Amino acid sequence: MVLSACGTCEENVASRQKAVACEKCMVWFHATCAGMKDANMKALQFDLLVFLCRRCLNRSIGEWSNEDNDKETKSVQQQSTQTENPKKEAEVQTEKNEDQQVVEVGRVVN
C-alpha cells in the first residue's frame, strides 16, 4: 500500500518501508531521506519524540519561541504566587523539557 510521495525524493512511500510523517504537515518521508537513525525511529514509535520536516520546523521555530515566552511568563507568575512549593515548579519545568524534544533529520533538538 502506498502512503504518499516522499517529501524529499518524491518517490512513493510504501507501508512496508521505514518511513516517518511530519507531525505538522503530515507529509511522509522515507527514513533514509529524512536522515533518521534506527534509535530515533524507535523513539518515535513510543511517542518519546516527534518528527518535523525542515519546512515545518523552520516555520514553527518562531511559533515555539512565542509559546516558550508565554510559558516562561506563566511559570514566573506561578513561582511568585506559590513560593511555598518549589518542587511543583521543578516538576513543571521537567515536563516542559520532555515535551520539547523534536527529531529533525536524524538529530534531537531541544
Judge whether 31 lies within some domain.
yes
Encoded amino acid at 86, one letter: P
Tell me the CATH number at 78: 3.30.40.10
* pLDDT single digits (tens) 52-78: 898 888 876 666 666 555 555 555 555
For residue 82, give the C-alpha cell.
506559590
Could you report the per-residue pLDDT of 5-52, keeping only the tens digit for each? 999 999 999 888 999 999 989 999 999 999 989 888 888 888 888 888
Q: Yes or no: say if 7 and 27 are a contact pair by the CB < 8 Å rule.
A: yes
pTM, full prediction: 0.52
Residue range(s) defining the domain that contains residue 69: 2-104
Number of domains composing the chain: 1
Domain assignment present for residue 110? The answer is: no
**Which residue type occupies 77?**
Q
